[in-house]
A and B are shown apart, each in its own frame.
Chain A
Amino acid sequence: DIVMTQGALPNPVPSGESVSITCRSSKSLLYSDGKTYLNWYLQRPGQSPQLLIYWMSTRASGVSDRFSGSGSGTDFTLKISGVEAEDVGVYYCQQGLEFPRTFGGGTKLELK
């Protein structure tokens, strides 16, 4: 199984600051079709997860351009430019390359 490992944030984060969340996969997520199958989700407190970024760097519909995704085949970053109150929650990375689908352990964002 592909293991997804996420980094932690230095919580609490001051409002307006930019933060980066890291995710590493145990296997390259770059597929032969040229896409990198790494997705990011946000789960706000008491809510269901929602898709933020897919295929490593494509923003989902309706997602603020303050969110951006980047990376290589195994190391990925979700950047939030200027955190706001609505960004509070737990962020998960997930690989879509193969089954079983696997998620990172989550990275919690708290606001100061």
Chain B
Amino acid sequence: EVQLVESGGGLVQPGRSMKLSCAASGFTFSNYGMAWVRQAPTKGLEWVATISYDGSSTYYRDSVKGRFTISRDNAKSTLYLQMNSLRSEDTATYYCTRERLRVMDAWGQGASVTVSS
């Protein structure tokens, strides 16, 4: 069974940093691209970043470029999202997703991030 389990969320002050992790199991992690998608309270889904299966390519939405870094450790089957210079508009539930052939076919349960003083 495919499982994606996010961790590392919580309350953080504006301007500070936070790192999310996503532990993957039930599939060969190194064969799949991975992505982060977020959902602000009561809002819709918003793609944040994608990383290729081997980490050689990364893509970001404009509003997080230069502040967020997506990375992966294939030996540990873990995906990361390093978030720096956090803003109130980054407050959301962050979902880890598996992406293959342009389809997000598995989702984690989400990690809540609240940016507030």
- A interface list, Cβ under 8 A from B: 37, 39, 41, 43, 48-51, 54-55, 60, 90, 92, 94, 96-97, 99-106
Contact = CB atoms under 8 A, between A and B. Distances in A.
A102 B35 CA distance: 13
B59 A39 contact: no
A97 B110 contact: no
B103 interface: yes
Nearest to A51: B105
A50 B45 contact: no
Given A48-B95, A101-B35, A55 B107 contact: no
Interface residues of B, number: 20
Contacts of B105: 51, 54, 60
B103 A54 contact: yes
Interface of B: 35, 37, 44-47, 50, 59, 61-62, 95, 102-110
Contact of B103 (A39, A43, A103, A106): A39
A7 B94 CA distance: 26
B25 to A, nearest CB: 16
A92 B108 contact: no
A48 B110 contact: yes
Contacts, number: 53
B102 A100 contact: no
Given A49-B95, A50-B107, A101-B35, A94 B45 contact: yes
A60 B95 CA distance: 19
A39 B35 CA distance: 15
Given A97-B102, A100-B61, A106-B44, A48 B109 contact: yes
Given A48-B95, A101-B47, A94 B59 contact: no
B110 to A, nearest CB: 6
A87 to B, nearest CB: 18
Interface pairs A-B: 4 shortest CB-CB = A96-B102, A101-B47, A54-B103, A48-B107
